[in-house]
Amino acid sequence: MPIGGGAPVAVQTMTDTDTRDAAATLAQIRRAAEAGAEIVRVAVPDARAVAALKEIIPDSPVPLVADIHFDWRLAVKAAEAGAAGLRINPGNIGGPEKTRAVAEAAGRQGAVIRVGVNSGSLEKEVLARHGGQVTAEALAESALNQTRLIEETGFTALKVSLKGSDVLSTVAAVRLWSRLSDVPQHIGVTEAGDALEGAVKSAVGLGLLLAEGLGDTLRVSLTAPPEEEVRAAWAILRALGLRARGVEVISCPTCGRTEGPVAKLAEEARKRLADLTAPLKVAVMGCVVNGPGEARHAEAAVALGRGHGQVYISGRRVAAKVPYEKLIDLLEAEVRRGAWGIGARHDD
C-alpha cells in the first residue's frame, strides 16, 4: 500500500480484542476491512501476542501494524513475524541503541516504522528543553530526533504521528512537522471520546488538516468498535471530497411535515447496503412535498407519504404507494439491480 508522496489518504483503525486471541482478533480485522479499513494496528504487549501475530498475519486481508511499547525485542519479533509496520514510541522504547536495533530488523523484513510521539510520553530531556510544556515544537523535536536516528541506519520507510493533548495542539504539531520534514504523517486525535464526541473532535481536527493537504494515513479514535472508527473516517474523507467509498445515506432532518419513520428507514437502508463498496448516495426523505426535490441529489431515494412511500432512482419515480415495511426491500432491490454497476457483493 503506497503511503505519502501524493498517494490517497489511507484509512486505518485499531483492534480492541486481546491480540493473544488470534481468532477473535482476526474476526475483528475482517469486519474492519469490510467496513473499509486499509491498514489495521494491533497491540502487541507480550511474547504470546507475537505468537498470535504469526497466526493472524497470513490470513489478514489488510496490512497489519504492530503497536509496541516498552520492549524493543517485541518490535524485532513482530517484524520477523511479518508485520507490515511497527509503531514505536520514542519515549518508552528504551534509548537510541534499541531504536537502531528495531530499525535494522524492520529493514531486514521490509516493514515500515511509525514513530508515534504522544503528549503523555515525551522524552524527559525534550520536555525539559521546552520548559516542561508539551508544545508543537516539543513534539516535533522528539519526532525529528527519532527519525534522524533511524535514518542514520539507512532505513527510510518511515512515518510519524504527533499527537497533542487536545485537537488544536495536535493540529499545530502536524502543521509544524509538514514544514520541517517530508516524512509522511499518520494523523489522529488521540483519546477523542465516545462515538459522538470523538467523531466531532476528529472531524474538526482531521478536517482542518486534510483540507490543507496534510495527513497520509488517518485514524478516527473512538471508544467504539473499529468498524465505527472506519465509518467515521470515510465520512470525513467524503465530506471533504477527498475519497468516497460505499453507500452514504442522507436523510432529511424531519419537521412538522414528516409522514413516517425517517430515522428507522435510514438506518435500515444503511445496514442493508453496508456491503457495497462503490460510492453511492441514498436519500430517505420524510414527505412527498419537499422530499422528491431534495432526493434528486441522490442516486436512489425514498420519500414518505402517510403509511406508504415512493421510490426514486436517478431522480425518476419508479414506484409509488409502497407500504413502509416494503420500502427498503424495494430500494435495495433497485440498487442491487446494478444500475451503477454496484450489484456485486464485496466478496464476489
CA distance from start to end of the chain? 22
By CB under 6 A, residue 291 contacts ligand SF4: yes
Minimal distance, residue 309 CB to ligand SF4, in Å: 12
Q: Is 69 helix (H, G, I), strand (E, B) or coil?
A: coil
* Least distance in angstroms from the C-beta of 276 to ligand SF4: 24
- Only one of the segments 22-30, 37-45, 127-135, 255-263 lies at the binding site for ligand SF4 (rule: CB under 6 A); that segment is 255-263
CA 20 vs. chain centroid, Å, equals 23
Q: What is the DSSP letter of 224?
A: S
CA distance 272 to 64: 28
Is 121 a residue that touches ligand SF4 (CB under 6 A)?
no
- In degrees, rounded to 5, the angle at the alpha carbon of residue 181 between the alpha carbons of residues 177 and 184 is 80
For 120, which DSSP code? Answer: G
Is the Cβ of residue 223 or residue 254 nearer to ligand SF4 in the bound state?
A: 254
Does the footprint of ligand SF4 cover residue 252 (CB under 6 A)? yes
Could you say whether residue 286 binds ligand SF4 (CB under 6 A)?
Answer: yes
Segment contacting ligand SF4 (CB under 6 A): 60-68, 223-231, 248-256, 312-320? 248-256
DSSP string, 177-205: HHHH--S-BEE--TT--SHHHHHHHHHHH
Amino acid at 142: S
250 in contact with ligand SF4 (CB under 6 A): no
Q: Residues 16 to 75: which contact ligand SF4 by CB under 6 A? A: none
289 near ligand SF4, rule: CB under 6 A: yes
Name which position in 109, 121, 153, 290 contacts ligand SF4 (CB under 6 A): 290
Nearer to ligand SF4, 85 or 305 (CB): 305
Which span (44-52, 97-105, 189-197, 287-295) binds ligand SF4, by CB under 6 A?
287-295
Contact with ligand SF4 (CB under 6 A) among 108, 129, 148, 257? 257
Shortest gap between Cβ of 256 and ligand SF4 (angstroms)? Answer: 7
Cα angle 87-93-182, degrees, rounded to a multiple of 5? 50
Cα–Cα distance, 64 to 59 (Å, whole number): 11
Cα dist. 263→120, 283, 285, 297, 348 in Å?
40, 11, 10, 19, 30
Residues of the shown chain interacting with ligand SF4 in the complex, contacts defined by CB under 6 A:
252-255, 257-258, 285-287, 289-291, 294
